Structure 1
C-alpha cells in the first residue's frame, strides 16, 4: 500500500464524490465520445461535449463515470464514454473533475470551461482562471478546494 506523505489523491475524474443528495439523470452519448467529468450539453436529446464558441447557458451537467460497469461500453478506468453509450449526467451535486493547468483553484472559486483552444488547452478543459472570450463561467459551479498533483479536484454544481 502506498504511503501518502503530502495529500491523498482528490479522486477519479467523473466520480460523484458525495453520493448522498446527488441528482443524476440517465442519458445517451451523442455522436462524439465524451470524457468522464467533462461538462456536457444536450443536442437532439443526447449529451455531447461543450463545443467551441458555446455560451455558459448550454452547460447541462457533467458526465458521470459509471461504477460498477457492465459490458464493455465503459471499461473500468476508461477515460471516455463512447458514442451511443448509456450514461449518467450530474445535474446537481459534488464531483471529482480533472482541472487543467490554468489557475489554482481554492474553495468557492468559480469554475470555467474553455470554449476556444489555445495555450496548450483544448475546448472543454476545465480551468480556474477566466481568459476573456476563451472561457465561460459555468453557472452555479464552484471548486471545493485545491487540485491534487494530477490536477484532480472536487466541484459543487447546481447546489
Structure 2
C-alpha cells in the first residue's frame, strides 16, 4: 500500500503542474463550472458510499471520501482543460469527454482496483459511463447558464481621466 499512497499523491499533484498553462483568464472563466461539478461529484460520492456503488478501501483520513484525490487532482484540472479547448463546440466537448471517460472507466478502474484504490460494487462499467455522460452534460449546461446570466468581467479602463 506504500506505493499506492505515493501513486495517489502523484495523481493529485501532477495535474496541478499543468494549471499555469491554462492561462489566468481561462482559469477564471471556467472555474465556476469546474467548482460546481466538483461539488456535485463530492455529493455523488457521499450517495455512492451509502448505496455502495463503488468502494474506496484506501482511506485518506477518517470522514474524507476516498475519491477526493481524483476530484481535487485530475478531475478538477482536467475539467478546466476540457472546457478551455472545447467550450462553444458541444459536439467536440462531448467527443472529448466520451474518450476520456471511456479510458477512465474501461482501463483506469482496473488499474486502480489492482493497487487497491477503488472497486465497483453495485455499479457496472456501463452504468459508470452513463453517469459520466450525465455529469459532462451538467457541467457544460452549468457553464452555459453561468456565462449567460453572470455579469461580464470588468475590463481595465484604457483612458486616463484628466
- The TM tier, using the shorter chain, reads under 0.3
Normalising by structure 2, what TM-score?
0.23
State which structure, 1 or 2, has the greater radius of gyration over its C-alpha atoms.
2
Normalising by structure 1, what TM-score?
0.23
Which structure carries more strand by proportion?
1
